[in-house]
Amino acid sequence: MDRYVIERTLPGAGALTDEQIGAVATRSNEVLAELGDGVSWVESYVTDDKLYCVYDAQDPELIREHAARGGFPCDAIAPVRRTISPADGS
C-alpha cells in the first residue's frame, strides 16, 4: 500500500469539541470497516479550518470512496514520496 496525505476543508475544525471529534472518528472507522483492508487511517492533524489526514491505501479511489460514504470533504489527495526528519540533517 502507498501512503497519502488528504486535505479536508472543514471551517471551524479547530473549535470542534471532543465529542464532535469522536463522532467524526467513529464514522470514519465505520466506513473503513465497510471498505475492508485496502485502506487504513494512520492519523490526522486538525488546524483552524482544515484537517490533514494520513492514510495508507491500495488506490486513491478508496480514499475518495471513504470520503463519499462518510460525508467527509476531500479537497486533495497527495501521494507521499518520502519522509524527512531532523535526523536527516547534519
What digits encode the pLDDT tens for the residues 24-50? 999 999 999 999 999 999 999 999 999
Collapsing DSSP to helix, strand or coil, 32 comes out as helix
36: left (phi over 0), alpha (psi -120 to 50) or beta: left
Contact criterion met (CB below 8 Å) for 52 and 2: no
* Mean pLDDT, rounded, for 69-86: 96
* Residue matched to cell numbers 479511489: 61
Q: What is the CATH number of domain 2-84?
A: 3.30.70.3090
Torsion (CA) 31, 35, 40, 41 in degrees, nearest 10: -20
Q: Which of 71, 32, 69, 76 is nearest to 52 (CA)?
A: 76
- Assess whether pLDDT exceeds 80 at residue 67: yes
Q: Residue ranges of the domains in the chain?
A: 2-84
